[in-house]
Amino acid sequence: MSENLTLVQAVRDGLRDEMAEDDDVLVMGEDVGKNGGVFRATEGLYDEFGGERVIDTPLAESGIIGTAIGMAAYGLKPVPEIQFSGFMYPGFDQIVSHMARLRTRSRGRYTCPMVLRAPMGGGIRAPEHHSESKEAFYVHEAGLKVAMPSTPHDAKGMLISAIRSPDPVIFLEPKKIYRAFREEVPDDTYEVPLGEAAVRREGTDVSVFTWGAMTRPTIEAAKNLDGEIDVEVVDLRTLSPLDIDTVVESFKKTGRAAIVHEAPQTAGVGAEVTATIQEEALLYQEAPVERITGFDVPFPLAALEDYYLPEPERIESGIRDAFDF
């Protein structure tokens, strides 16, 4: 059986199912308990599982993350929520100094099976700090997995995989598309493996690599170019570890690539994909890799965010550049 769910409903569904299945799974964060989460991602969990497993924390990101690390080190499977990914920074030290290193530091005696969930990205007219897209910070830290689903089906499946993973996962949820569309999501538990990209649209002229909320405008741009350029769209889904095989296979087919991400361009994950492409498939390359990204500025105020975020027209233009070279 399945139901049509939005992405945030699918996240909730995944949390609920895993909490029902495994008593060690617990949820913690600001407003997640009695309020059911500011985006309703944890709605009803408090009523179902009680305050011991659905914990309302103080406004203290470092504490939230640090406490979760401690819980994880000692056998629980915490799924802390940071209300907006921009607020992970106060807890950054916990993430990179401890969450990422527990296993190697202890030579495997202590592991950190936690999933740090955070809504990320722009497009909701929010004030400062609430539209961050800094997945690159966590991709750069060895010892962390970084996941970013773009569909309800993937959200539930990847969250379940993340919760079941023995190692820490940063689970970034693109809030712009929290409710943008519904998709059939199975009622039971299922896994969508981390580290696997998904080819959303097959093509032969240009490979476009993208993730998160940018997947939809990229697919729209590809559709607009139908008949002119045959565009392949690959949704990376997991940014670390990168699905190099799928990326390279796609690039070898087309020889031309574009990358679309809302994070700023410099040192964004797009740079990593570009480097990988030229390492693995230089001889197939027929054009420079086009990066269509956010600009190297702090995320702008709400009134200007439409100029900042890549939209179908800008994406089409970038794809054309790759194709025409």
Partner 1 sequence: MVVGDVSTGTEVAVVGAGPGGYVAAIRAGQLGLDVTLVEKDAYGGTCLNYGCIPSKAMITATDVAHDAGDAEEMGVYADPEVDVGEMVEWKDSVVDQLTGGVEKLCKANGVNLIEGRAEFAGNDKLRVVHGGDGQGSETITYEHCIVATGSKPIEVPGFEFDGEHVIDSRQALAMEEYPESMVVVGAGYIGMEISTVLAKLGVDVTVVEMLDEALVGYEDDLTRPVKQRAEELGIDFEFGLAADSWEESGDGVVLTAEDEDGETTDFETEKVLVAVGRQPVTDTLNLDAVGLEPNDDGRLATDDQARTDAENVFAIGDVAPGPMLAHKASKEGEVAAEVVAGEPAALDYQAVPAAVFTDPEIATVGLTADAAEEQGFEPAVGKFPFNASGRALTTGESDGFVRVVADEESGFILGAQIVGPEASELIAELALAVEMGATLEDVASTIHTHPTLAEAVKEASEHALGHAIHTLNR
Partner 2 sequence: MPREFKLPDVGEGVAEGEIVSWLVSEGDTVTEDQPVAEVETDKAVVEVPSPVNGTVKQIHFDAGDVVPVGDVIVTFDVEGETAEPAEETADAESEPADEAESESKSATSKAESRTFAPPSVRRLARELGVDLDSVEGTGPSGRVTEGDVRAAAEGGESEATDASTEPAETTQTTQAAEPSTQPAATGRQEAAGRDRTLAAPATRGLARELGVNIDDVPAVEQRDGEAFVTAEAVQQYAEGGQAAQAGATGGAARQYAEGGETTEPYRGIRRTIGKQMAESKYTAPHVTHHDTAPIDALVETRAKLKERAAEKDVKLTYMPFVMKAIVAALQEFPILNSELREEDEEIAIKQDYNVGIAVATDAGLMVPVVKHVDQKSMLQVASEVNELAQKARDRSISREEMQGGTFTVTNFGAIGGEYATPIINYPETAIMGLGAIDERPVAEDGEVRAAMTLPLSLSIDHRVIDGAEAAAFTNRVMDYLTEPELLLLE
| Options 98, 130, 153, 261, the catalytic residue | 130
From the list 70, 255, 300, 312, which residue makes contact with partner 2 (rule: CB under 8 A)?
255
Catalytic residue check, 153: no
Structure-token pair, residue 285 = 């390359």
285 binds, among partner 1, partner 2, none (CB under 5 to 8 A by kind): partner 2
Does 179 bind partner 1 (CB under 8 A)? Our answer is yes
Query: Residue 38's binding partner, choosing from partner 1, partner 2, none, with beta-carbon cut-off 5 to 8 A by kind?
Result: partner 1
Cis peptide before 241 (omega within 30 of 0): yes
233 contacts which partner out of partner 2, partner 1, none, CB within 5 to 8 A by kind?
none
Selected range binding partner 1 among 71-79, 147-155, 175-183, 266-274, rule: CB under 8 A: 175-183
Interaction of residue 178 with partner 1, rule CB under 8 A: yes
By CB under 8 A, the residues from 286 to 305 that bind partner 2 are 286
Burial pattern 133-165, b for ≥16 Cβ within 10 A else e, equals: bbbbbbbebebbbbbbbbbbbbbbbbbbbbbbb
11 binds partner 1 (CB under 8 A): no
Among 1, 58, 108, 283, binds partner 2 (CB under 8 A): 283
Answer for the pair 27, 71: CB distance below 8 angstroms, yes or no: no
Q: What b/e readout covers 251-271, taking b as 16+ CB neighbours within 10 angstroms?
A: bebbbbbbbbbbbbeeebbbb
Minimum distance, C-beta of residue 288 to partner 2, in the bound complex (Å): 8
Task: Please report, as residue ranges, which positions from 105 to 124 form the binding site for partner 1 (by CB under 8 A).
Answer: 124
Q: Which is nearer to partner 2, 1 or 282 (CB)?
A: 282
| 16 contact, one of partner 2, partner 1, none, CB 5-8 Å limit per kind | none
Q: What's the closest the beta carbon of residue 296 comes to partner 1, in angstroms?
A: 23
What gap in Å lies between CA 269 and CA 238, rounded to an integer? 11
Positions marked active-site = 130
Residues that bind partner 2 (CB under 8 A): 255, 282-286
